[in-house]
Amino acid sequence: MKKFLVFITVVSAFGFTAAVAADLPTKAPPPPPAGVFSWTGLYIGAGIGGGWMRATDYDFSDPGNAAFASCGPCITPYDSVSLSGSNKSGWFGGVRFGYNWQVAPTWLVGVEADIAAASFKQSASTTLSTQVPLIPSIAGSSLTFSSQVQWLASLRGRLGLVQNNWLFYGTGGVAFASIKQEANAQCPPPAIAGGCVFTSGTTSPFSATETRVGFAVGAGLEWQMPASPWRLAAEYLYYGFDKSTSGSSLFIALPGGGPLPCIVTPTCSANYGFGRIDIHTFKLGLAYALN
């Protein structure tokens, strides 16, 4: 009988505990861990920015001795001159597109192409001079150079460090630029002809547009907006264009005269050289991820 009463008591207690437990609120299971953000895929975007440019090694020479037939002392050629410009600021804006591969949770490789309209212009100037010690420079004369970048483009690789929706990267590759080069050596009518062929002033304007190939290197930071395909970016790029180019232009009499006769070469030309160009840029951009 005692065993039966103990059994009834245990069963009753167990039933009461189960009933109470059933009435208590159940605890929700923990949420699944958040998914890891992926940077893999195609993107397109646009950007605008500014920077500064420097052009160096502007060169001038007078191989045909135009000084003899113009406003110089009629004895020796104009002195050869080499100039460099100072830093000049400018702006640019354009489009970009590329593809990323997130090869590991924290690493990314990619490729990007961009092209932008630009307004960077550099100039340098001085006066014409001769090899005559008593006449170091010719009053009223001028020698001017200018280089204007009309557009910039690049094709670059990217290597980045991923921290969820942040991307820090370095970049480098080939760069292209359309550059308009201009130069002119000009002198006013001489006060005294002194045996010169022309008593009017002379000019030798030169202008040409070329596409230069160089390199671009830099670094940037991108932020992916949460739950959105839009990305904000900030980037620094340095463009280097080492290749030098040259051109020549006939000296002609002013106003509207013909070419000067020369005593050294059949035609009297000014020779111009255009050297290295360096451009530093900072850009802010917005991109749309298509992945």
Tens-digit pLDDT profile for residues 51-70: 999 998 999 999 888 887 77
CATH number assigned to the domain comprising residue 154? 2.40.160.20
Instruction: Give the tokens for residue 260.
Output: 């000067």
| Residue 268 located in a structural domain | yes
| Residue 14 located in a structural domain | no
| Residue 2 located in a structural domain | no
| Residue 129: predicted pLDDT | 86
Average pLDDT along the chain: 84
CA-nearest of 219, 216, 144, 208 to 180 is: 208
Q: Is 243 helix (H, G, I), strand (E, B) or coil?
A: coil
Q: Using CA atoms, how far apart are residues 67 and 250, in angstroms rounded to an integer?
A: 13
Report how far apart the first and last C-alpha atoms of the chain are (Å, whole number).
Answer: 77
Using 50, 70 and 90 to split pLDDT, how confident is the model at 74? low
Quickly tell me which residue has 């135009």 as its tokens. 66
Count the alpha carbons within 13 Å of 70 in the hemisphere toward its beta carbon. 36
| Residue 190: predicted pLDDT | 66
| Residue 114 located in a structural domain | yes
| Residue 194 located in a structural domain | yes
| Residue 264: predicted pLDDT | 81
Strand partners, 225: none
Instruction: Please state, for a pLDDT cut of 70, what percent of the chain lies above it.
Output: 81
The beta strand positions in 128-205, using DSSP E, are 142-163, 166-187, 202-203
Domain that holds residue 89: 40-289
| Residue 6 located in a structural domain | no
Tens-digit pLDDT profile for residues 118-169: 999 999 999 988 877 666 678 788 999 999 999 999 999 999 999 999 999 9
Tens-digit pLDDT profile for residues 229-247: 999 999 999 999 988 899 9
State the chain's maximal CA–CA distance in angstroms: 150
| Residue 20 located in a structural domain | no
Number of domains observed in the structure of the chain: 1
> Could you say which DSSP state residue 130 is in?
B
| Residue 277 located in a structural domain | yes
Strand partners, 115: 95, 153
Instruction: Give the tokens for residue 125.
Output: 């100037």
